[in-house]
Structure formats: structure tokens, C-alpha cells
Amino acid sequence: MGPPGAGKGTQAAVIAELLGVPHISTGDIFRANVSQGTPLGIEARKYMDAGEYVPDGVTNAMVRDRLAADDCAPGFLLDGYPRTVEQVGELTAMLGSSAQRLDAVLELTVDVDEVVARLVRRAAEQGRSDDTEDVIRRRLEVYFEQTAPLIELYRTQGLLVQVDGLGEVSDVTGRIVAALALES
Ligand code: ADP
């Protein structure tokens, strides 16, 4: 977990590789659907381009499908999900029905000025259609309203692991590996 621009996608890819489990990024799945012009992509794009969350019903169904695939049986790393209280409830139900559980919830902590600067840079480099300044501001607001409260929820469940997300990518990876007590 962490606000837009915290580095979730970058770190999740590395950690999933280290763990040998699939990296499931809801943002990447939505973007792949947008670029292929699927009905899911056409629906999701309306929300993504405005900096809003895709409705829970759509997102939950997509994650439910993905987690049912065979490659998720030994484990998986979720990136960008859950992001709302309702998604937390759905995820708990999905995991319950497959007798799986979360091992940890990792939060990358960053300061807001730093993430805005990163996102503006990413906009220039990659041209993501949701990386314009107005949309970035809205995505941050939505994060603080809807997703930040989940951090307390997972803290009370004893699952929360917080890692400082500032600095070089490899330094942050090192902190995550240490915090989760993984072999690298
Ligand atoms: P970032 O972490 O930079 O916000 P993501 O790639 O994780 O980017 O997500 C991009 C967009 O995809 C979000 O702004 C939102 O519109 C949509 N999205 C991704 N995950 C979810 C989710 N769990 N629930 C609702 N919408 C989501």
C-alpha cells in the first residue's frame, strides 16, 4: 500500500520475483484492458482518466477471477488492491473460500511533495493518461479519503509492515527484504 507514486509497482515486481509468486497489479490489468479495447477497459478508462477508483463491483470480480488461476495457489503479491473498505471485505471472503490468508500488508511511506514530483516526472517519461497534474491531485485525494484508512485496519490485525519509500529503488528494496525477513 501507499499513495500513487510511492513506488508500489516497481517494488512489487522485484519482491514477487524474489518470492517466486505472481505480481498482481490491478492498475496493470486495467491498463492492459484499456490498450486492448476490451469492454472492461472501456468501462475502467472512464474512471482512471478522472483519477477516480474503478467501481468495487468491477474491480472485485476481476481480482476474484485472477486469484482463482492455478498460478496463485502457492501464493501471490497484490499491488493496488484492496483500496477500499469494501474491497477488504471481498478479499477476506475470497481468501477464506480458498483457505488462504495474508502474510503481511506492506506500506511504503513517502512524503506528498516527493510523490507529486515523481508522478510529474513519470508523466513526462511515460505519458500515462492519468498522470496529468489535475488528475494526480485527484488521485492523491482519493487515496487519502478511501485507502489510507485501510492502513489502520490492517495495523489492528497485526499485518502491517511499514517501510520508508524514499531514496534509491535498490535501497527501498533492501529495506523491504529486511522488514519482511526475506532471503535475497
Ligand atoms: P497508482 O498506484 O499510481 O495510483 P495504479 O496503476 O495502481 O496507479 O492504478 C491506476 C488506476 O487504476 C487507479 O487510479 C484506479 O483508477 C484504477 N485502480 C487500480 N486499482 C484499483 C482498485 N483496487 N480499485 C479501484 N480502482 C483501481
152-184: per-residue pLDDT in tens?
A: 999 999 999 999 999 999 999 999 999 998 755
User: Which of the four pLDDT bands, split at 50, 70 and 90, describes residue 21?
Assistant: very high
Q: Which domains does the chain have, with CATH numbers?
A: 8-180 (3.40.50.300)
What is the overall mean pLDDT for the chain? 93
Nine cell digits for residue 158: 497485526
Q: What is the DSSP letter of 72?
A: G
Q: Whose CA is nearest to atom 23 of ligand 1?
A: 81
pTM value > 0.85? yes
pLDDT of residue 183: 59
Lowest mean pLDDT among 23-27, 45-49, 132-136: 132-136
Q: What is the spatial distance between Cα 173 and Cα 46, in angstroms, rounded to a whole number?
A: 33
User: What are the residues facing 107 on neighbouring strands?
Assistant: 162
Q: Where are the alpha helices (DSSP H) in 5-160?
A: 8-19, 26-36, 39-48, 56-67, 85-97, 112-126, 133-142, 148-156
Q: Is 45 a catalytic residue?
A: no
User: Which of the four pLDDT bands, split at 50, 70 and 90, describes residue 102?
Assistant: very high
Ligand 1, residues at Cβ distance < 6 Å: 4-5, 8, 26-27, 30, 47-48, 53-54, 59, 80-81, 83, 87, 130, 139
Catalytic residue among 64, 66, 118, 128: 128
- Tallying the residues shown for the chain, one arrives at 184
User: Which of the four pLDDT bands, split at 50, 70 and 90, describes residue 113?
Assistant: confident
pLDDT of residue 134: 84
Helix (H, G, I), strand (E, B) or coil at 3: coil
The answer for 162, left when phi > 0, alpha when psi is -120 to 50, beta otherwise, is beta
Q: Cell match 475502467: residue?
A: 44
